[in-house]
C-alpha cells in the first residue's frame, strides 16, 4: 500500500514503496530494507568518485554515438549537482551490503536519473527519459565501477590531504631538529641510559620516519593507479564498446589531473583487492611511525617532576577532573588512537582482500570504508599533531643536566682502557653515585685533561673522522 509519505516504484523484482521525496529508487530502497546493519555509510569521497565515473561515461557514450546528446547533458548536469556537494543525504546504503557494492552503484545511478528527470519537471521514479541502468550505467558494471571508484577516491585523498599533511609534519619536525640541535642529552636504549645524543638528532630521526611515510604514500598511489574500469561483469568487457575504457581513462585523467591507467589485467583487477591491500599496508606503516613518534613525545614530556621531563608539551586543555593543574599529552594520545584504528583497518582490508571468489571480490564496500577512513584519520591527525603539539614543543634543562651523570659515557673509555676496565668503572659509579669522570680519575692513569677530552659529551654525538 502507498500513502502520502511514499510513492510506488517498479524495478526488475516488482513494485516497492519508496519515500515520496527520495531521489533514490526501488533498488536502493530494497538495500535499505535488506541491510539495517549499522549507521555507517560510504564516504562522500567515494560517492563523488562514482559520480565522476557516471559523468565521464555520459560524455564518452555520447561521443561514441551510444547516448543521445540531450540525455547525456541531463546526466552530466545531474552529476555536477552531486559533485558540487548537493544530495549527499540521498546516499543511504549501509557499508555492510552486497559485497560487490552493487547497491551503492545503483543508489548513485538512481539518484542521478531522478535529478535529471526532476530538472525537466518529469515524474521522479518514472525512469523516463533517463534510465538508471540503460543510460547512467551504460557500458559499466558495479563489478568494475566500484573497484575503480575505490582506487580513484583513495588516490585523490592521498594526493590532496595525506601527503600535504605529512609534509607539514615533516617540516615542523625539521624545525624542531634545528632548534634542538645544540641540546645534548643522554640517549636511551632498552629504556636504559646510553651514550649521549643531541635532542635535535632524535627529532631528525622522527623527521626521517615521516619522510619515508611520504614516499610510502607515493607507493600507495602507484598501486592505486590501475583502474578496473572496462572489465564490466567478470573482466571480459561484455556489453561495452571496445573504445569505452580507453576514452574513459582519458576523460578521468583530464578531470582529476592525474595519471590513471587501464588495468593490464581486468581479471586480476576484479577478482582481487591486492593493490588496495598493498596501499593499506603503506598506510599501516605510516600509522606505526606516528605511534612511535607520539609515544616518544609523551615519554620525553612526562612529569613535570616525577618523569623524564626533557621537553615541555603545549598545554591545550586541563588534564584531570579531580587533580587541579594537571596537564596531559592529549594531542599525542589522539595520534596513538588514530594509529591503532588504522592498524585495525588494515587487518580488515587484508581479510577483505582474501575474499575474492573466482571472478569477483565480495568485500569491496568494507574495504572502501576502511581505507578511506584510514587516509582521513592519518591526514587530520598528522596535521593536528604538527600544529597543536610539535610546533609548540620546548626543551628543558633536564636532558643536559643528566649527561655528565650518565653511566653510558664510559663507552668512550673502552677503546682506551678496554671493555672490562670501562665496565668496572661504570659499576663503581653506579654503586657509589659518583660520575664516570670522578671514578676514572681514581681508577685509571689518565689525566684530568685527557678525561675531559675523552668524556666530552658533544664529541660522542658525532662520528669520528
Q: Is the pLDDT of residue 404 over 90?
A: no
Q: Is the pLDDT of residue 10 over 60?
A: yes
Question: What phi, psi does 186 have (nearest 5°)?
Answer: -80, 130
Q: Tens digit of pLDDT for each residue in 281-310? A: 999 999 999 999 999 999 999 998 899 999
Question: Which pTM was predicted?
Answer: 0.95
For 148-229, strand residue ranges (E) read 184-189, 192-198, 226-227
| Residue 465 pLDDT grade (very low, low, confident, very high; cuts 50, 70, 90) | low
Q: Which of 38, 45, 126, 190 is catalytic?
A: 190
Strands 311-312 and 192-198: unpaired
Cell of 378: 592519518
pLDDT recorded at residue 305 = 87
Closest by CA position to 295, among listed 196, 209, 372, 182? 209
Cβ neighbours around 238 below 10 Å, total: 10
Q: How far is CA 165 from CA 206, 240, 336, 351, 390, in A?
A: 15, 40, 17, 28, 13
pLDDT recorded at residue 324 = 75
pLDDT recorded at residue 274 = 97
Task: Decide: 144 and 232 in contact? Cβ < 8 Å.
Answer: yes
pLDDT recorded at residue 463 = 77
Q: Which of 141, 155, 272, 320 is catalytic?
A: 320
Q: Tens digit of pLDDT for each residue in 176-224? A: 999 999 999 999 999 999 999 999 999 999 999 999 999 999 999 999 9
User: What is the gyration radius of the CA atoms in the chain, in angstroms?
Assistant: 30
Q: Tens digit of pLDDT for each residue in 226-284? A: 999 999 999 999 999 999 999 999 999 999 999 999 999 999 999 999 999 999 999 99
Q: How far is CA 384 from CA 226, 281, 302, 395, 424, in A?
A: 32, 23, 20, 20, 48
Domain map of the chain by residue range?
6-138, 144-185+198-235+264-396, 404-461
Topology of the domain comprising 404-461? Ribonucleotide Reductase Protein R1; domain 1 (1.10.40)
Q: Is 190 in the active site?
A: yes
Query: How many residues appear in the chain?
Result: 465
Closest by CA position to 253, among listed 323, 180, 148, 108? 148
DSSP per residue, 215-232: HHHHHHHHHT-EE-TT-T
Q: Tens digit of pLDDT for each residue in 110-159? A: 999 999 999 999 999 999 999 999 999 999 999 999 999 999 999 999 99
Closest by CA position to 274, among listed 353, 221, 345? 353
pLDDT recorded at residue 12 = 86
Task: Decide: 333 and 295 in contact? Cβ < 8 Å.
Answer: no
For 347-464, strand residue ranges (E) read 356-357, 360-361, 394-395
| Residue 319 pLDDT grade (very low, low, confident, very high; cuts 50, 70, 90) | confident
Side-chain-side CA neighbours of residue 163 (13 Å): 15
Share of residues in the chain with pLDDT > 90 (%): 93
Alpha carbon distance, N-terminus to C-terminus of the chain: 88
Mean pLDDT of 391-415: 94
- pLDDT, the chain, mean: 96
Which DSSP letter does residue 433 get? -
Mean pLDDT of 387-402: 96
Tell me the CATH number of domain 144-185+198-235+264-396, given options 3.10.310.30, 3.50.50.60, 1.20.200.10, 3.40.1670.10.
1.20.200.10
Q: How far is CA 380 from the centre of its chain?
A: 9
Q: Tens digit of pLDDT for each residue in 23-53? A: 999 999 999 999 999 999 999 999 999 999 9
Cell of 130: 533517463
Task: Decide: 2 and 58 in contact? Cβ < 8 Å.
Answer: no
Q: Tens digit of pLDDT for each residue in 212-227? A: 999 999 999 999 999 9
Give me the architecture of the 6-138 domain, per CATH.
Answer: Orthogonal Bundle (1.10)
Q: Is the pLDDT of residue 3 over 70?
A: no
Q: Is the pLDDT of residue 317 over 90?
A: no
pLDDT recorded at residue 323 = 81
pLDDT recorded at residue 382 = 98
Q: Which residue has the cell 593536528?
A: 384
197 forms beta bridges with: 185
Share of residues in the chain with pLDDT > 70 (%): 99
Q: Which residue has the cell 662520528?
A: 463
Task: Decide: 112 and 51 in contact? Cβ < 8 Å.
Answer: yes
| Residue 464 pLDDT grade (very low, low, confident, very high; cuts 50, 70, 90) | low
Amino acid at each position: 500500500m502507498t500513502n502520502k509519505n511514499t510513492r510506488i516504484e517498479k524495478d526488475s523484482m516488482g513494485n516497492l514503496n519508496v519515500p515520496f521525496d527520495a531521489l533514490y529508487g526501488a533498488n536502493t530502497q530494497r538495500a535499505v530494507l535488506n541491510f539495517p546493519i549499522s549507521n555507517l555509510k560510504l564516504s562522500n569521497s567515494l560517492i563523488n568518485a562514482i559520480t565522476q565515473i557516471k559523468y565521464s561515461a555520459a560524455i564518452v557514450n555520447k561521443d561514441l554515438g551510444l547516448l543521445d546528446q540531450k540525455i547525456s547533458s541531463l546526466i552530466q548536469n545531474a552529476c555536477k549537482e552531486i559533485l558540487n556537494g548537493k544530495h549527499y543525504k540521498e546516499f543511504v546504503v549501509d557499508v555492510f551490503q552486497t559485497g560487490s557494492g552493487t547497491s551503492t552503484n545503483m543508489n548513485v545511478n538512481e539518484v542521478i536519473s531522478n535529478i535529471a528527470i526532476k530538472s525537466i519537471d518529469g515524474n521522479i521514479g518514472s525512469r523516463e527519459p533517463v534510465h538508471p541502468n540503460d543510460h547512467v550505467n551504460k557500458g559499466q558494471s558495479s563489478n568494475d565501477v566500484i573497484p575503480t571508484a575505490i582506487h580513484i577516491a583513495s588516490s585523490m585523498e592521498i594526493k590532496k590531504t595525506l601527503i600535504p599533511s605529512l609534509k607539514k609534519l615533516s617540516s615542523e619536525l625539521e624545525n624542531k631538529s634545528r632548534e634542538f640541535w645544540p641540546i645534548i642529552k643522554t640517549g636511551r636504549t632498552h629504556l636504559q641510559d646510553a651514550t649521549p645524543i643531541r635532542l635535535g638528532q632524535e627529532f631528525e630521526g622522527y623527521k626521517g620516519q615521516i619522510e619515508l611515510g611520504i614516499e610510502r604514500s607515493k607507493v600507495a598511489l602507484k598501486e592505486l593507479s590501475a583502474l578496473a574500469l572496462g572489465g564490466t561483469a567478470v573482466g571480459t568487457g561484455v556489453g561495452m564498446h571496445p573504445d569505452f575504457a580507453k576514452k574513459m581513462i582519458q576523460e578521468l585523467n583530464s578531470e582529476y589531473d592525474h595519471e590513471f591507467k587501464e588495468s593490464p589485467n581486468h581479471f586480476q583487477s576484479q577478482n582481487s583487492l591486492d593493490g588496495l591491500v598493498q596501499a593499506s599496508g603503506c598506510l599501516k606503516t605510516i600509522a606505526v611511525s606516528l605511534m612511535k613518534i607520539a609515544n616518544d613525545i609523551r615519554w620525553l614530556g612526562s612529569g613535570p617532576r616525577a618523569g623524564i621531563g626533557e621537553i615541555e608539551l603545549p598545554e591545550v586543555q586541563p588534564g584531570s577532573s579531580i587533580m587541579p593543574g594537571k596537564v596531559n599529552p592529549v594531542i599525542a594520545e589522539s595520534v596513538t588512537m588514530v594509529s591503532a584504528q588504522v592498524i585495525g583497518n588494515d587487518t580488515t582490508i587484508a581479510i577483505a582482500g582474501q575474499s575474492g571468489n573466482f571472478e569477483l571480490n565480495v568485500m569491496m564496500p568494507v574495504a572502501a570504508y576502511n581505507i578511506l577512513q584510514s587516509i582521513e584519520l592519518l591526514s587530520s591527525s598528522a596535521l593536528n599533531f604538527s600544529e597543536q603539539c610539535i610546533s609548540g614543543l620546548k626543551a628543558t634543562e633536564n636532558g643536559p643536566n643528566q649527561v655528565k651523570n650518565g653511566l653510558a659515557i664510559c663507552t668512550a673509555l673502552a677503546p682506551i682502557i678496554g671493555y672490562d676496565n670501562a665496565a668496572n668503572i661504570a659499576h663503581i659509579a653506579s654503586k657509589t653515585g659518583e660520575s664516570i669522570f670522578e671514578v676514572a680519575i681514581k681508577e685509571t692513569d689518565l689525566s684530568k685533561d685527557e678525561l675531559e677530552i675523552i668524556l666530552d659529551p658533544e664529541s660522542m654525538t658525532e662520528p669520528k673522522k
